A and B are shown apart, each in its own frame.
Chain A
Amino acid sequence: MLRIDRLDAHYGLFQALFELSMAVAPGETVALIGSNGAGKSTLMKAIVGALSVRHDGVQLDGVAIGGEPERKQLARGIALVPEGRRLFPSLTVRENLLLAARNGRQGPWTVERLLREFPVMEGFQHRPATALSGGQQQLVALSRALVCNPSYLLCDEISLGLSPLAVHEVYNLLGRARGEGLAIVLVEQNVKRALSESNRYYCIQKGRVVLEGQSESADHAKVAQAYFGM
C-alpha cells in the first residue's frame, strides 16, 4: 500500500500541496484528475523523491519513505513516467532502456522482452530516442519505467499530444502492465479515459483533494465541477 499522508510540498516560497492524503493499493489503478497547476505533477514528483517532502508524508507498506532520493524509491519499486517523455537525446532507444534496466529492480520486464513484444520498438531500437514520433517516444518512455520492474507505476500525462492510434497503443502497453499486477497512478487530461481506465479517482484542486470515489460510479457532472473548480 502506497499512502500519502497529509503531504505538503513547496517550490521555494510557493506551496503547491496542502495536507494532501491519498492511497494506492497493490494492483489498483488510481486516476488523478485536475486542471493544469492543480498539483498532480508535484504530487508525483514528491512521491518519487524529486521534490523534498516530510519523511512520513509518503509511506510504503507503513514505512516512511518521503523525501528520499529517486534511486531509493526506484529500488523500492516506485517509478515515474515523467510528463513530456523526457527521453535522453544522446542515447539510442535501446540505451535508454538499458540504462534504466541496469539501475532498476530485477523482474519479469526486461529490455529483450519489451523489444520482442513491441516489434515496432525493435525496429528503431538503434535510433536516437528523439528521432521518433511522439507516440513511439511515449512507448519508449513507458518501457523505460517498466524495465525497472516497479510495483507502483506513476504516469504523468502519457497521452498528451498523441494521435488517437498512438494513445491506443500506449494504453495497450499500460493494460499489459496492469495485467501483471502493477499498481498505476494515472494523470490524464482526458477525464473520460481517466475514469474508464481506473478503479478509483481523486480530483485535485489547488493542491488539495476535493473529490474522490469509485471510477465506475463517478458522477461526471460532479467531477467536471471539481475539475473546473466551480
Chain B
Amino acid sequence: MQTFIETLAGGLMLGALYALFGLGLSLSLGVMKMINIAHGDLIVLGAYLCSSVMQALGAGPLTSMIVVVPAMFGIGWLLQRLLLNRVVGRGPLSPLLLTFGLSIVLQNVLQEVFTADTRSLQAGDLALHGFDIGGVSLGLLPLVSTLVSVAIFAMTGWLIGHSHWGRQARAVADDPATARLVGVDDRNFFALITGFVLAVIAVAAVLYGIRTPFSPTAGPERLLYSFEAVVLGGLGNVWGTFIGGLVIGVAQLFGAKISSGLGPFFGHLVFLLALLARPQGLFARNAR
C-alpha cells in the first residue's frame, strides 16, 4: 500500500512536468494552429543552456533560471519573428516541415557544441531532501516542481480567461482575419506566445533535467510525452493538458514498477487505450 501511494505520488509529480512540456505545445497548437516538431529539441536546448549558465556562473540550477528563462523567451520571440511567422496560417503542412527541419538542425548543433555525452543538472542537497508523511516518503524537489507546474498552469488559465492577452489569444484562435480587423497585431502576438512557450519550456526543462539526464538526441522523446499530454487532455483545453500529463506520468511509473525498462511503454499504452476509448481526448471542450 505504501509503495502504491509512493508510486502514485511520484507519477503525479513526474506527470506535472510532462504537463508543463505539453502546455507550450497546446498553446501553439491552439492559438497558431501550428505543431512544433522541434518542441522537444527546444526543451533539450533549455536544459543545455541551464547547464552552461551553471558552469559559467557557478550557480545552482534554480538560480540559473534567472538567466535561462528570459534567454529562452528571447529565443522564442526571435524564432517566431524570423522563421515561424513565415509559415503560420498556411495550413498544417508548412509548419510541420519547417519545424521538422529545425528539429534536425537543433539536434546537430547541440551535438556539435555540447558533444553527444549525456549530461544532468546537479542540484546538490536540494535533490536529496525529502519528507516522510505517515511512512510515505516524498522528495522535496518533485514537490517543488509540482507546485511550480500548478502555479504556471493556474497563471496561464487565468491569463487566457480574464486578461486582454487571453482575449487576443482566443480571438486569433477563432478567426485570425477578423482578429486583425479589431486591431490585433497577430504577428507580434505570435512572437509573444512563442516567447512565453519557451519560457515555460525552460522552467520545465531545468526541473526535468535535475531528475533525468539529457543528451542532444533526447528531444523527440520529450516531444512525444508533450504530445501525449496534449492529445490525451483534449485540444484547446489547458487544464486537460495538465491532467493528460499526470496520466502519462502515473502510467510510466507504475509501468516501471512492473519492469524497470517498461515505463515509457506503459505511458504509450495507456495513451493508446485512452484514445481508443475517447478519440477526442478526455476533456475536449467541444467534440470536433
Q: What residues of chain A have their CB less than 8 Å away from a CB belonging to chain B?
A: 48, 50, 69-71, 74-75, 79-80, 82, 86, 88-91, 95, 98-100, 102-104, 144, 148
A88 and B178 form a contact (CB under 8 A): yes
B221 an interface residue at 8 Å Cβ cutoff?
A: no
Residues of chain B from 162 to 210 with CB closer than 8 A to chain A in the complex: 164, 167-168, 170-171, 173-175, 177-185
With contacts A50-B177, A102-B164 known, is A91 near B182, CB below 8 A? no
How far does the alpha carbon of A144 sit from the alpha carbon of B184 in the complex, in Å?
A: 13
Q: Are A82 and B178 in contact (CB under 8 A)?
A: yes
Partner of B167, one of A69, A74, A75, A99: A99
Known: A99-B167, A99-B168. A70 touches B174 (CB 8 A): no
Tell me the bound Cα distance from A82 to B181 in angstroms. 9
Within 8 A of A (CB), among B210-255: none
Q: Interface range on chain B: under 10, 10 to 19, 20 to 34, or 35 or more?
A: 10 to 19
Interface residues of B (CB under 8 A from A): 164, 167-168, 170-171, 173-175, 177-185
Knowing that A71-B180, A95-B167, A98-B164 are A-B contacts, what are 15 other residue pairs whose CB atoms are under 8 Å apart, sorted by A's residue number? A50-B181, A69-B185, A75-B183, A79-B181, A86-B175, A86-B178, A88-B171, A88-B175, A88-B178, A88-B179, A99-B167, A99-B168, A99-B184, A103-B182, A104-B182
Question: Are A99 and B171 touching (Cβ within 8 A)?
Answer: yes
State whether A104 and B179 are in contact (beta carbons under 8 Å apart), knowing that A88-B171, A90-B171, A90-B173 are contacts in the complex: no
Residue from B164, B174, B181 within 8 A of A89 (CB atoms): B174
Instruction: Give the Cβ gap from A217 to chain B, nearest Cβ, in Å.
Output: 35
Tell me if B177 and A100 are in contact (CB < 8 A): no
- Measured CA separation A80–B178 after assembly (Å): 10
In the bound assembly, the distance between CA atoms of A102 and B183 in angstroms comes to 9
Contact (Cβ within 8 A) A71 B167:
no
The answer on a CB contact under 8 Å between B171 and A80 is no
- Contact residues in B for A82 (Cβ distance below 8 Å): 178, 181
Complex CA distance for A69 and B177, rounded to whole angstroms: 11
User: Contacts of A70 on B, CB cut-off 8 Å?
Assistant: 180-181, 183
Query: Which residues of B lie under 8 Å from residue A98 when comparing CB positions?
Result: 164, 167
Residues of A within 8 A of B167 (CB): 91, 95, 98-99
What residues of A have a CB within 8 angstroms of the CB of B180 in the complex? Answer: 50, 69-71
Query: Which of A74, A91, A148 contacts B171 (CB under 8 A)?
Result: A91
